[in-house]
Amino acid sequence: MTDPAPVFTDQKLAELFPPTRADEFFDALFGDAAEGAYDITLHFAGQQGDELHFELRLSQRPGKCLACNLTYGLPEVFSRHPIINMAGVAKAAAEAVGRPLAGWRLGRTTEISRELHMIPLTVQLG
């Protein structure tokens, strides 16, 4: 496979995981998007063989406490939640490089700092 990095521009990543998705998630969860403690963005982290590696970055919102939230259980929640739609994100990422999706998985939440947590997403290409 050719280098997929040029495919995953900021614009493409925002198409795969729109910035509004965090607000939609919090609106469904709490009934008010303003209750959410973080924004979620998708970043491309590289390729290893037939795997594409991404990061879901959880960035603390002003006046909120990311460290106070239960972000460690999020991979399980995100893997099933229809608004987050990780299966759809993984499928679209594979299609963006012209390959079928063989599978995907979310890793464990990592605390980069009190204001930034990260959840790895691995997309396996067929």
Q: Give pLDDT tens digits for 42-52.
A: 999 999 999 99
**pTM, to two decimals:** 0.93
Confidence of residue 1 (pLDDT cuts 50, 70, 90): low
* Category of 46 on φ-ψ map: left (φ > 0), alpha (ψ -120 to 50) or beta: left
Task: Give the pLDDT score at 2.
Answer: 72
Who's near 39: CB < 8 A, 6+ residues apart? 19, 22, 58, 59, 61
In the chain, what are the domain boundaries?
10-125
Q: Give pLDDT tens digits for 64-123.
A: 988 777 788 899 999 999 999 999 999 999 999 999 999 999 999 999 999 999 999 999
